[in-house]
Structures are given as C-alpha cells and as structure tokens.
C-alpha cells in the first residue's frame, strides 16, 4: 500500500523537481568545465550543448514552451554538427586508484548498491522510483565521505562532469526515445500497425499472433531503444487485437512481451545506456563490441520466451 494519499502527491512532485534540478545543475557545471577547458577541441559547442540540456532539465517546467523548444534545437544542432567533444580527462591515475582501493576495499560496492536498493524500495512502497534513485545517490555520497575523508563535494561534480563528457550526446538518447514512444502512441501508430498486420495474420490464430507480437516487440525495441516505449504501441497494434482478444492471459502475455523487448535492447545501439555508454567509458576499440557478445543470448531468450508464452497462454 502506498504511504502517501492523493493529498500527499505534491510532496513527491516537489522531491522529483529537486532531482531534476540537481541533474540540470550538474549538466550546467559540465558546460562551464568544458568552456574553461583549454584542451577541449570544441569548448564553445560543448558548453552550448550541456548548458542547453541543463537549463531545460532544471528549469524547463517554468520556461515558456517556445524557449524550451529553441534550447532543444540548439542542443540538437550542436550534436548534429559534431561540436560536442570530450575535454581534459580528470580520471584518477592507476596509483591513486590503487591507493583508494587499499583504503576502502570491497566496501566500495555498498554505495553503488544503495542507489538501486533505494530506487526499488521507493517503488515497492508506492513512492516515485526516480526520487528513490536520487535519495540513494545522496546516501552513496555520505557513505563515500565516511569511507574516505579526502572526498569533497567537488569530487562528485568533477566525476559526474567527466563521465557526461565521455558519453557525450549519446546520454540524451534514453529520454528522447521515451518521449518518441509517447508521440507514436498519441499519433496512432499502433492502429496503423494493427491494420497492416491484420492483412497477414489469420484471424483467430493466437500462436501466430504471439510470434508476431514477440518478434515485433524485439524489432520495435531495437528501433526505439526502449522496451517501455515499444510495449504500448505493439500491444495496441498486435497484442490486443491478435492475442489478448482471443482469451490469452493479459498479465502473463504482456509481461513476457516486455521481456521479448529486452532481447531487442541487447541488440541495438539505440539502447545507449546499455550498449554505448559502457563502450565510451571503457574506451573500447570495437564500438559494437557489447552488442556482438549479446546476440546469441538474446536470440536464445527470445525463442524460449515465445515458446513459454505459447504454452501458458
């Protein structure tokens, strides 16, 4: 049961605004850092990009829609024109990393786990999971302060700025694709898909409908980069009229369809936070290296889930 009644919802909204403002301030800090970075080959373009992102995320709610739109266009232009470049790498040296590990040891994983733990707890008790993530970050910072007194708030800002600079505009893909999923749903893309698929799937053949639904979820997730963005469109277009309409268990079928979408997440560079961010952070030579090792597991899981869906429908 949720601990907050409807009268308490504004509190969660205010806390969520604090999370967004904090994220925006970090982006603005990244812009200032890059603008002052003499080693950045494109300091102005990089600063414009992160500054625009930061202002929209932190203060977009109170800005006119026209100004928000203009900032997004400026942000997009900077990325399209390849004016966003990583600057000076402030990563700790191997000696500093070794010394830190000797002081902290395996306790370093506790702050990382706290972020996911608080996100999960907040979601389970009916609070906003993103607020839980923000709270988990605060707890992680306090723990890191207690582990190593040498840490200062500037350390967290500098490292956040460094990782944002490494990943670059790709970090904006998840929210942009999530918005695109909502746009597709409102535009009636699901109805268009239903009309097209209806010409090929025999009426009443639930098994064929399940296969098309599952494979469609995988393919559409590869395009959208986000299974949550794909599930609404594909359920409206295929799941509801060709599977659920014939008595299949909605909870089981839709849950498995979503996990089929996750198979598509493993196969696409559009899932930037899974497949592109690790490549950037680890400075991998093969930009598709993460995806290549995930192809076989993704196919195996997709086949298994289709069979399981057919058996339990």
pLDDT at 150: 67
pTM exceeds 0.75 for this model: no
Question: CA 47, 49, 51 angle in degrees (round to 5)?
Answer: 65
pLDDT at 234: 87
Collapsed DSSP state (helix, strand, coil) of residue 3: coil
pLDDT at 6: 43
Burial 66-90 (b: 16+ CB within 10 A, else e): eebeebbebbeebbeeebbbbbeee
Cα separation, 106 vs 95, whole angstroms: 17
pLDDT at 9: 54
| Angle between helical axes of 9-35 and 153-167 (0-180°, round to 10) | 80
Cβ neighbour number for residue 33 with a 10 Å cutoff: 24
Cα separation, 99 vs 150, whole angstroms: 12
pLDDT at 304: 95
Question: CA 40, 46, 50 angle in degrees (round to 5)?
Answer: 135
pLDDT at 4: 43
pLDDT at 118: 92
pLDDT at 259: 92
Residues of the chain with confidence (pLDDT) below 50: 1-8
pLDDT at 2: 44
Q: What is the pLDDT of residues 73-125, one digit of tens each?
A: 999 999 999 899 887 766 677 787 787 777 777 888 888 899 989 999 998 88
């Amino acid at each position: 049961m949720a601990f907050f009644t409807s009268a308490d919802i504004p509190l969660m909204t205010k806390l969520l605004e604090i999370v967004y403002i904090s994220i925006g301030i970090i982006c603005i800090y990244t812009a200032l850092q890059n603008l002052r970075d003499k080693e950045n080959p494109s300091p102005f373009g990089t600063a414009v990009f992160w500054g625009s992102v930061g202002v929209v995320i932190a203060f977009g709610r109170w800005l006119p829609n026209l100004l928000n739109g203009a900032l997004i266009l400026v942000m997009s232009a900077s990325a399209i024109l390849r004016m966003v470049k990583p600057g000076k790498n402030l990563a700790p040296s191997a000696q500093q990393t070794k010394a830190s590990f000797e002081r902290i040891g395996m306790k370093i994983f506790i702050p990382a786990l706290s972020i996911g733990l608080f996100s999960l707890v907040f979601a389970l008790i009916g609070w906003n999971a993103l607020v839980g993530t923000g709270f988990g970050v605060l707890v992680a910072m306090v723990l890191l302060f207690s582990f190593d007194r040498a840490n200062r708030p500037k350390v967290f800002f500098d490292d956040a700025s460094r990782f944002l600079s490494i990943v670059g505009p790709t970090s904006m893909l998840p929210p942009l694709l999530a918005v695109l999923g909502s746009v597709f749903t409102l535009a009636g893309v699901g109805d268009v898909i239903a009309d097209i698929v209806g010409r090929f799937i025999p009426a009443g053949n639930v098994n064929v409908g399940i296969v098309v639904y599952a494979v469609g979820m995988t393919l559409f997730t590869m395009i959208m980069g986000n299974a949550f963005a794909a599930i609404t469109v594909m359920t409206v277009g295929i799941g509801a009229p060709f599977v659920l309409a014939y008595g299949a268990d909605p909870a089981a079928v839709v849950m498995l369809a979503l996990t089929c979408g996750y198979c598509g997440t493993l196969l696409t560079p559009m899932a930037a936070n899974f497949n592109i961010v690790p490549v950037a952070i680890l400075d991998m030579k093969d930009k598709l290296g993460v995806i290549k090792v995930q192809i076989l597991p993704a196919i195996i899981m997709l086949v298994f889930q289709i069979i399981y869906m057919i058996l339990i429908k």
